[in-house]
Structure 1
Amino acid sequence: MNYAQLLLPDFSLILCGYLVCRFTALNRTVWLQVESLTYYFLFPVLLFHSIVKSPLDLGAASSLIAAGVALGLLGIGMAYALPHLPWLGRHIDRREHAASAQVAFRFNSFIALALADRLAGPAGLLLIAVLIGVCVPIFNVAAIWPMARHAQRGFARELLRNPLILATASGLLANVLGLRIPFWLEPAVGRIGAASLALGLMAAGAGMQFGPLARAKALATAVLAIRHFLLPLVALLLSRVFALSPVQSTVLLAFSALPTASSCYVLVAKMGYDGAFTAGLVSLSTLLGMLSLPFALWLIT
């Protein structure tokens, strides 16, 4: 399978968002509102619908969940070990690291859902939705914790108000209880989900900027190497250790190589740090995803 060609439509939308934001009247101010609409409404509807529409066998998905959590914890460990490495630590500013370490383990949920549907259909979409629901709370805690002393609000409250967590938790509860969306509402909900994927990918492109990366090259190289090279290798090992099915392995490997979350720089700014460097990391990570995703999927062929 030509994975680069398979991923082209999604990355074309990212490029489209970048060009529209830079060269038309639909500038960054417009796209900030698009991000909010997608994050707080369209995307949670897609998550809820993805989980509710198909019966979920948690027993069958338990191996993938365990592998995904293990992958995330190892990514967090590698990210926060960087300042303590003797050959690298002296080149890393600790405050800059506290803000940008999250880039190494967080992921872009918009791209995750778009790719899962393209790679593995409804089954893949359901599995990635479960992974998102399990990993988002863990990753958010790991991202917020080192910056917590500068936070204006407690991170526990922020986690409980996270729309992705609320949508996933309510979707899982509805699935377990056997509840389904009424058939007459399905078309509208499906169109909301489709809109969230397209707008989310374009918003990721609209937010790209690269200038600030030059001021901390060692840190940028390290966190992006974890995100786009080391984590896919770890995911391959975990897929063997947990004896995942082909579909589960595909989902885990794609999950391991995703671009980092576009909201990283928003969180950094909210916590009182300079978000420009993190925004540059997010932008470069989005581009590197065009290489790391085909690489990760090639590993299981």
Structure 2
Amino acid sequence: MNYAQLLFPDFSLILCGFLVCRFTSLNRTVWQQVDALVYFFLFPVLLFQSISKTTLDLRAASSLIGAGWALGLVGIALAYALPFVPLLGRHIDRRQHAASAQVAFRFNSFIGLALADKLAGPEGLLLIAVLIGVCVPLFNMAAVWPMARHAERGFWHELLRNPLVLGTAAGLLANVLGLHLPHWAEPTVNRVGAAALALGLMAAGAGMQLGALSRGKALGLAVLAIRHFIMPLVAWALAQLFGLNALQTTILLAFSALPTASTAYVLAARMGYDGAYVAGLVTLSTLLGMASLSFALGVLRLLPL
């Protein structure tokens, strides 16, 4: 499978945003307003629609769900622990870490859905949709907590007013209650979702300053190593521990090796952190996704269970 071809649309949108911001009159003043539109309206609608219409067969996929949660908790724990690692911790700025920890465990669900469809068709789509539905709330809360804590804003106050978390919670509630949008509204909401993805990636590119990555080389290397090397290894071990079948193992490995979420930049920027640095990490993660997906699906998947 050509992972470069799969990831190219996301990377090209990031590059497009970077070039438009740097070489046209659509400068950062314009893109700051785009950030607000994406964060407060487009992404919450997208999350609500994606989760509310996902078929969550929790009983049939209980082992996969357990492995997915365990994988997420390991990633979160590793990301949170970085400032306390001997030698490494002294080179990590705590505020920068608060904004960047999310890069280590969050994932790009749209690439995940496209990949699962190519790997296993409708059955693969169902399995990764279940993973996305149950993991997004956990990962979003874990992304907000260190930023709220470092900024000394109440965690629950920050969580309850975070539009990404609210969109996720509303989508899960609608899913559990069996509520659906009327058919006449779905085309509009689907277009909002498409706009969220495109503008979110372009905004990440517009906010990117490649030089910003030099401000935290050790931190950037650590979170990307967790995201693209350690997480696939942990997923392979968990697949054996939870007794997953071949298809479930493939989906979990793909899930573990995805590039980080493009919303990581939006969340960091809107909460007052170094958005340019996180945007740089999102871009590098998109590129590294080609290597980690090849490693997870081309090497680890072939190892005997």
TMscore range, shorter length:
0.7 to 0.9
For residues 40 and 113 of structure 1, what CA distance do their matches in structure 2 show? Answer: 24
Distance change >3 Å, CA 161–CA 103, structure 1 → 2 = same
Q: What secondary structure does 1:43 align onto?
A: helix
Residues 93 and 20 of structure 1: CA distance in aligned 2, closer, same or farther (over 3 Å): closer
Please list the CA deviations of residues 166-206 of structure 1 after superposition, one character each: whole Å capped at 9, or x if unmatched.
33333333333333322233332333333333333333333
Judged with a 3 Å threshold, the aligned counterparts in structure 2 of structure 1 residues 97 and 179 are, in CA distance, closer, same or farther, namely: closer
Q: Is the 8 A contact 2:260 2:282 kept in 1?
A: yes
CA RMSD of aligned residues (A): 3.5
TM-score, length-normalised on structure 1? 0.79
Structure 1 residue aligned with 2:190: 190
Query: Match of 2:257?
Result: 257
**Distance between the aligned counterparts of 1:117 and 1:13, measured in 2?**
22
Deviation at 1:261, TM superposition (A): 4.1
Residue segments in structure 1 that go unaligned for 5+ positions in a row:
none
Q: State the partner residue of 1:43.
A: 43
Where do residues 272-287 of structure 1 align in structure 2 (5 Å cutoff)?
A: 277-287=277-287
Distance 2:162 2:15 in 1: 28
Letter in 2 for 1:160: L
1:22-46 Cα offsets, whole Å, 9 max, x none, are 2222223333333333333333333
Question: CA 1:245–1:174 in 2, change beyond 3 Å: closer, same or farther?
Answer: farther
What code does the residue aligned with 2:236 have?
L
Superposed displacement of residue 122, structure 1: 6.5
Provide the C-alpha distance between the structure 2 equivalents of 1:207 and 1:126, rounded to a whole number of angstroms.
Answer: 34
Amino acid at match of 1:190: N
* 190 and 243 in structure 1: CA distance in 2 versus 1, 3 angstrom threshold: farther
Counterpart position of 1:88: 88
Contact 2:253 2:297 in 1 (8 A): yes
**Paired amino acid for 1:85:** V
TM-score when normalising by structure 2: 0.78
Q: Which amino acid aligns with 1:138?
A: L
Aligned pairs, number: 301
SS at match of 1:86: coil
Q: Percent same amino acid among aligned pairs?
A: 76
Alignment partner, residue 23 of structure 2: 23
Return closer, same or farther for 1:108/1:28 CA change in 2, 3 Å cut-off: farther
1:300 corresponds to: 301
1:229 Cα deviation from its structure 2 partner: 1.3
Is contact 2:28-2:206 (8 Å) kept? Answer: yes
Equivalent residues of 2:54, 2:130 under 8 A apart: no
C-alpha distance in 2 between matches for 1:271 and 1:193: 22
Contact 2:141 2:165 in 1 (8 A): no
Q: Which residue of 2 aligns with 1:211?
A: 211
Q: Distance in 1 between matches of 2:11 and 2:167?
A: 26
Q: CA deviation at 1:222?
A: 1.7
After superposition, the C-alpha distances for 1:62-106 in whole angstroms (9 at most, x for unaligned) are 333322221121112222333443353444455554554333223
Match of 2:68 in 1: 68
Match of 1:237 in 2: 237
